[in-house]
Amino acid sequence: MSSVFPLRPHASLEQISTPCLVLERGKLARNLTRMAATLAVRGVKFRPHFKTAKSVDIGLLASPPPLGAITVSTLREAEYFAYHGWRDIFYAVGLGPGKLDRVTALLRQGVNLVTLCDHADTATAIRGFAQREALTFRTLIEIDCGDGRGGVPPDSAELLPIAKLLGPCFAGVATHGGQSYGERDAAGLARVAQAEVAALRTAAAGLHAAGYPSSILSLGSTPTALAATDLAGITEVRAGVYMFGDVYQAGIGSCTLDDIAVSVLAEVIGRPAHRPNEFLIDAGAFALSKDISTAKLSPEKNAGYGLVCDLDGELLPGLRVANTWQEHGLVVSATPLPPDAFRIGTRVRILPNHACPTAAAHDRYFVVNRSRDVLTEWTRVNGW
C-alpha cells in the first residue's frame, strides 16, 4: 500500500529553466540565526528589513510568529506583509505626501505603520492628514549620521520645529549608517556603528530636553548591526541584506563568500573557439542586475557582475562575469580554459555583487538544499 503522502518528484537544479534565482535554505537559516543571536546577546530589539527578501516565506523565518516588528522599503511590501499578518511595520523611506492615502488604508486595517520624515513640509502634511482622518500614527524623524542621503544632522535647528509640527505623531528618531558600505574593515564598520548610535543619542537628547521624548530610537544596516557594541539607549536595530549576504558584503567583511545564500542559476550558451578564456551564459544584466559595486573595492575584489560557482555552489576561482548585455553574461577566466570545461549546456551559479537588485529581477526563489534538490518555490513581492 502506498503512502497517502508519497514523496513528490521534485526538480533538481539540472532540470529547472534558466536563468533563475536559487536560495540555499541552510545558508539562509545560518545567516538569520547569526544576526538574531548577535542582537539578542546585545539585548536590543531587532526589526528585520524585508527590502531584500520581499517574501512571506522568508519573512516567517526572519520574524517568526507572533510576527513582531519589521521594516519595509515600499508601501507594496507594507501592504503585502500586512496581508500576511504582520502589524508593526516601519516604512523606512522618507514619506511622500502622495502616499498618505495608502498609509491611511493600512492604518484603518489595524496596521501599526511607522513612517519617516525629515522636513517641515512633510511633517505638516502628515499632521494635517492625521487630523482630517482622525488618526494618529507614529512618525520618526530621520537623522543623517554621515550617510548624506536623507535626514537632518543630529544637532540641526530643524529638528525641534519638525517635532512640533508632527505633534502627537512624533514618536522618535531613526538613522541609517549607509556610509558603512564605504568602509573596508571591521574597525571602519565599528566606527560607523558608533556614529549611528551617537547621532540618535544627540538628536533624542535635544528633543527630550525640549519636551519631545523619543519612544523609538531606530538604527541599522547589515554591516553596522553586526559591528555595534554599545547600544545603550537604542530601542531597535534594522538590517536586511544579512539574510542573503553578497559579494560586496563579503568584500567589506560583513560576511564571507561561503555565507552567500542566493545565486543565479545559468547555462553556458556560448563558447567561442577564438576566445579560449571566455564563455557566455544566459544570465545577463536583467538576471544579475547592472550592479558593479565591487569595482569600488580593491582590484582583486572586483567581481565584475558576479562570481562563478559550479552547480553545487562551490566557488570556481579565477572566474568572474566581466560583462553583461540584456540576456547575455560574459564569463572571463584569468587563465585559458580547458576545451572540455564549461561546454555548451553546462550549468553554473553566479554569486551576486549586491543581493537586493539581483533578487528584485526575479519573481520567485527556487529553494535548494546542498544536494541540488529544489525543495520548493517562494514568491516575492516586487514593485511599488
Q: Which residues contact a second copy by CB under 8 A?
A: 17-20, 51, 73-75, 93-99, 102, 118-119, 121-122, 125, 149-150, 152-153, 156, 158, 178, 267-274, 280, 282, 285-287, 289-292, 325-328, 330, 343-345, 347, 356-357, 360-363, 382-384
Cβ distance to a second copy smaller for residue 227 or 268: 268
How would you write 95-158 as a 3-class SS string?
A: CCHHHHHHHHHHHHCCCEEEEEECCHHHHHHHHHHHHHHCCCCCEEEEECCCCCCCCECCCCCC
User: Taking a C-beta distance cutoff of 8 angstroms, is the pair 167, 159 a contact?
Assistant: no
Nearer Cβ to a second copy, position 208 or 343? 343
Q: Which CB, 35 or 285, lies closer to a second copy? A: 285
Residue number, 5 or 384, with CB nearest to a second copy: 384
Closer residue to a second copy in complex, CB, 258/312: 312
Q: Decide whether 38 or 353 has the Cβ nearer to a second copy.
A: 353
E strands, 271-328, where?
278-281, 307-309, 315-324
The span from the CA of 177 to the CA of 250, in Å, is 18
The smaller minimum CB distance to a second copy, of residues 196 and 291, is found at 291
Q: With respect to a second copy, which residue has the nearer C-beta, 88 or 158?
A: 158
Name the grid cell of 134: 482622525
Q: Which is nearer to a second copy, 62 or 231 (CB)?
A: 62
Residue whose C-alpha is closest to residue 79's, from 58, 101, 97? 101
State the nearest-atom distance from the C-beta of 92 to a second copy, in Å: 9
Torsion angles phi and psi, residue 146, rounded to 5: 125, 0
- The nearest distance, CB 252 to a second copy, in angstroms, is 16
DSSP-derived letter for residue 27 is H
Q: What is the nearest approach in angstroms of a second copy to the Cβ of residue 285?
A: 6
User: Which residue type, as a one-letter code, is found at position 6?
Assistant: P
Q: Closest approach of Cβ 99 to a second copy, in Å?
A: 7
- The span from the CA of 321 to the CA of 329, in Å, is 6
Count Cα atoms within 13 angstroms, Cβ side, for 249. 30
For strands 112-117 and 88-91, give the pairing. Answer: parallel
CB of 155 to a second copy, least distance (A): 12
Say if CB 18 and CB 283 are below 8 A apart. Answer: yes
Q: How far apart are CA 57 and CA 378, in angstroms?
A: 6
For residue 307, what are the β-bridge partners? 320, 351
Q: How near is the Cβ of 209 to a second copy at its closest, in Å?
A: 22
Least distance in Å: CB of 45 to a second copy? 23
**CB-wise, 143 or 231, nearer to a second copy?**
143
- Least distance in Å: CB of 53 to a second copy? 13
368 vs 148: CA distance, rounded Å: 39
Nearest approach in angstroms of CB 318 to a second copy is 21
Q: Do 331 and 280 form a contact (C-beta atoms < 8 A)?
A: yes
Nearest distance from C-beta of residue 181 to a second copy, angstroms: 10
**275 close to 331: Cβ distance less than 8 angstroms:** no
Among residues 268, 248, 273, the alpha carbon closest in space to that of 342 is found at 268
